[in-house]
Chains A and B, each alone.
Chain A
Amino acid sequence: MYNGINMSQIFVLDQDKAKDFYVNTLGLEVANDLDLGFMRWLTVCVPGQKGRDILLEKPGPPAMDEATTEKVRELVTKGATGFTLGLTTDNIKKTFETLKGRGVEFTQEPTTHFYGTDIGIRDPFGNNIRIVQLAEVMGKPDQPPVKLKV
């Protein structure tokens, strides 16, 4: 039925700040930045991977009323948006050092698990982002992993 994921979404509270963080700090690139009138369509992607975009969406009218907007903003700032984004890297140590040098907030420093070594960071608003260097047993990022034993 499906053959891929082309879009996912993260709520951000300020799109200029978000663009600066996701591009200049995290190292993604802008895929689209369009003024649609009713909203700013701002998407980023892993460099060279256009077609698999992350929408950096600002909650607010006309999509939602003021009270709902406030609730969404509260959830984001309390870190209650769950597992927002997972990225893969082929060098977690270097990625960690680079991000550390750029002043990123870490929720977890490099930790090795059976599936690989990962770190956890927060975006400026409170969203949780995880970055992993997958272990060989997990296969390549764009291929299905080896089935986990239950």
Chain B
Amino acid sequence: MSRAVEELNRRMLRARDAIDRAYAQPLDIQELARLANVSDAHFIRTFRATFGETPHRYLQRRRVERAMFKLCETQRSITDVCLDVGFNSLGTFSRTFREVVGVSPSEYRDRAEVKAVPSCFTMAYMRPSSFGEATSRSGT
């Protein structure tokens, strides 16, 4: 791997960190591309080549992870959790949640157990995988 690719990885990581910091905000491809110092046109493709998924999908899974956390750790209503993590519509939230996790937000909340791990760990490690986690899903 050339040093240029390492540089590019590092800049893409900077953009990915920005997505994580502002996960409830809409994806601003122009701003992210600027952060990563690549053209708007190349940003999505480069992100995917670097991290294995598009920035949109990355953000969706981050939002679902944050929703899982809030469903477990807070008493907020499902609609509030949906809005808290950046989804505008309950329909999209529920569909995306089920697609990624395999169960609906309310089923997830019912089954959830509070985990005694630092919540920063949860955010860093528990982002639900789109690489096959939801076993109840068929196909992709």
Contacts and interface: CB of A to CB of B under 8 A. Distances in A.
Interface of A: 13, 70, 73-74, 77-79, 82-83, 105-109, 111, 113-115, 118, 120, 122, 125-126, 128, 130, 148-150
B9 A126 contact: yes
Q: Which 6 A-B pairs have the closest CB atoms?
A: A77-B9, A148-B116, A79-B13, A113-B119, A77-B6, A70-B1
B116 A13 contact: no
A78 B116 contact: no
30 contacts: A70-B1, A73-B1, A74-B6, A74-B9, A77-B6, A77-B9, A77-B10, A78-B12, A78-B51, A79-B16, A79-B17, A82-B124, A105-B14, A105-B17, A106-B21, A107-B21, A108-B120, A108-B123, A111-B120, A113-B120, A114-B119, A118-B120, A120-B120, A122-B13, A122-B14, A122-B17, A126-B10, A128-B124, A130-B120, A149-B116
Contacts of A78: 9, 12-13, 50-51
Interface of B: 1, 5-7, 9-10, 12-14, 16-17, 20-21, 50-51, 116, 118-121, 123-124
Nearest to A138: B118
Contacts, number: 57
A44 to B, nearest CB: 21
A115 B118 contact: yes
Contact of B10 (A107, A109, A125): A125
Contacts of B120: 108, 111, 113, 118, 120, 130
A102 to B, nearest CB: 17
A141 to B, nearest CB: 14
